[in-house]
Chains A and B, each alone.
Chain A
Amino acid sequence: MSVDSMNPDLVNKKFKIIGTRPPRPDGIDKVTGRARYGADFTMPGQLIGLVLRSPHAHALIEKIDTSKAEKLLGVKAVITSKDLPDLTGGDRGMFDILENCMARKKALYDGHAIAAVAAVDAATARKALKLIDVKYKVLPHVTDVDEALKPDSPVIHSHVFTEGIEPAPTKPSNWNKRAEYGHGDVDAGFREADVVISRSYKTEQTHQGYIEPHSVSASVSPDGMAEMWVCTQGHFVYRNQCATLLGLDANKLRVTASEIGGGFGGKTHVWAEPLALALSRKANRPVKLTMTRDEVFRCTGPTSSTSVDVKIGAKKDGTITAAYAELRYQGGAFPSNWAEFGAMTSWACYDLKNVKSVSKDAIVNRPKCAAYRAPSAPAAAFAIESTVDEVAKAIGMDPIDFRIKNAAKEGTKSSYGPVYGPIGIGPTLEAAKNHPHMKAPLGKNMGRGMACGFWFNFGGQTCVDVNITPDGNVNVAQGTIDVGGARAAIAMAVAEELGVAYENVRSVVADTSSLGHNDMTDGSRGTFSSSMAAVFAARNAITVLRNRAAKIWEIPVDEVEWKDGAAHAKGTHHGNRTPLSLKEIAAQAGNTGGPMAGHAEITADGAGVSFATHIADVETDPETGRSLVKRYTVIQDAGKALHPSYVEGQYQGGAAQGIGWALNEEYVYGKDGRLQNAGFLDYRIPVCSDLPFIDTQILEIANPHHPYGVRGVGETSIVPPLAALAIAVSNATGVRQTHLPMSPPRVLKSLKSK
């Protein structure tokens, strides 16, 4: 169903429920401990699954002897890659997922799964793991992105030849792809410039840091009927992937999504799920597999560490004449495109005549990277915005005015190719310029930074069912996972359309057997697309309700309209009939045609793009190098905020993650290629005392491609903070910070070099 067929006048409609702040349906369960997350589920007769993992960053697996483990009393199944044959049919992407779930010929990173056991309890499973004998031949490893791109680095995959360079290489390497975006002539642009600034930046690897470790309970019967309870951002995609990898019929694998304790892109990928299913199939009993925190850090999907070079040329009047970036990202132990996505987003905020971004994607002996909120954009924005700031200073222009002068607008040719339609970067910059934060005085050792960010938003496949209950209430079945209030937002949209009270509508996340396919909750698409589908499903239900009222009144259906939660007879001929409420029609459903429902199955495209501007004040102690965030403001366009508290929450959460990424969080790999800090003590995410209140300003520039004007909001807020904080600390210390995180030792080192 195309959005363009819907009435655009509704974009500016006066809402009764949309924009208010009603309580969410899962609120009481979550504050009383009743809500069931991944690990809160038990299947009768279940076994406990545990995974044996490689202690080496890179090694040939010469032999795995599981015989002693299999003989241990209480062990019901042991699996290796032999139990996961290649059923991917030549799909390299799926094969990489399979190999990442369990090593085949080589261990590719510290923590790579080698084997797994299912036993009657955790203690027995742990003993069994110790009884598995693995003979490794340790190979040289590489964990740094720039080292991996050197011609002499140890090659990790012998089938990988760099894509995108001419002539095509004849030798395999860890450089899996080169890509280029841009237009114009950057060399000519640099020649025109009065000021040219070149700088190189590095960011270390970070993890999404969700508090809930991955957990799955799986049950596979010999007839191929299977069930899974799992915390995931997309249970339909998990179902489809697991079915492929295990050779199960997808329709026989019923996946129920538990409540999810955070994902941020890290639960869009399977790791333990195929292993739990394989163990369950072999043991013919349910298997529950929960990762430890150590495993989450070591063996799931962190984001890339990066190395980026930026060069900007500008005239004295502030016009950027040329912009160039080379972005080198590592995607972990498998080929990826993360640097390419960084190249696509890097200059998106600006209107540039001459621009070029080159990306190099590298393979290293680290876990396979997954998306983290707005994947690839934060590190690119850090490098670009820091350099933009430096150029503005060199010209002597205010940093906001410099950005306003060069900002993309409707009609700008984007750096990734297409010409922009109406976009919101101008309004966020103007709002930042006029925000009281910009005028607040700064104290001793303090610095201020502002930065912009951009992210694509998606629609994707979505379906929603609206069912009217016999007592005149409304049940909604959605297929997009609720990570932070989406069920409330969907219920609000349905209540708004039907004209009933919010309290009369309940939305649940349906399992994969009860609803058609729904794409992941990622790409900021959850509320955008499921609210769109919910609106269409409700309108579909209204058609049914009008038909039923027409039958009850024995009048033609085109003389029935739906208004304020009731059917009204139109026209002078039928005008004095008392309206029929939804409840009254529902009471007569049995004799007017049966149960009443509305459906919508859509692909929601045209989600548009999203812009944000952030302002950060930090105080950096010159003796310890420690930075404290004293004030933080997020200004972002939401199109239409269905539930403003939840939109604010997304802005604040993304900003907090960006703050951690900028100031403290990093993966520390030793010379042995092993992760040194796989826990929350030494992988330091922001705690309550690290942060101030985070101010938010929601701009509402309606998205014409959604019935209520909604834009995706979940991701963009993680894009500007790295840059805003780097600029702030640079201003506080007087030294340009080019390596994240700006941990105290790193900042002190930069001060010494001053």
Chain B
Amino acid sequence: MNRPRIMAIALWIALAAVLAIGPLDRWLDTTMPRIVLLQMPAWFTLGWLAGRKRGTLLATIDPRGLGSLALAALTVIFWMIPRSIDAIGISPLADTLLHISLLIVGFALADGFPRLPFVAKAALCIMGTSHVFALGIFYSKYTALLCGSFSLIQQQELGRWLLRLTPFVLVWALIGAFRALSRSSSTQPTI
């Protein structure tokens, strides 16, 4: 194992440790926007980084990457249920499960995404963007509290942030889709 590789692994472990324990984790668990906009993407990204250079580790059991797609979609939807967001803030066990599940999802998607058919990649991008937009509208406009351990102000703040982020997610998704299209046309058979 070469030196840059060792450094990368050490940096990854340090990042995971900082995110998992101590004051940063407590700070991230305090408000809805921090949980959804910082903590969830951070753990997903850590998982993605871990799985990015693994090649086709899960190819035997998930040859087309559809399992990782399903896992990612269901996991994100599960943690976006207001009851689940509440649990993250209230229960250390739920918080730990969030960390582990998003690590796994990031890892699995990094492994499975390159094998996904273009149609599935495009669907993921479209669904992801529309999910962010719809949640943004919902959380910013709904006047009753949905997450019982946070405040209405935080709920609406999260909604406004999601709406602000939607154009960026859309651009990112389009770039990703075009890259996937160019790669799939040269390397993968279409379904």
Do the two chains bind?
no
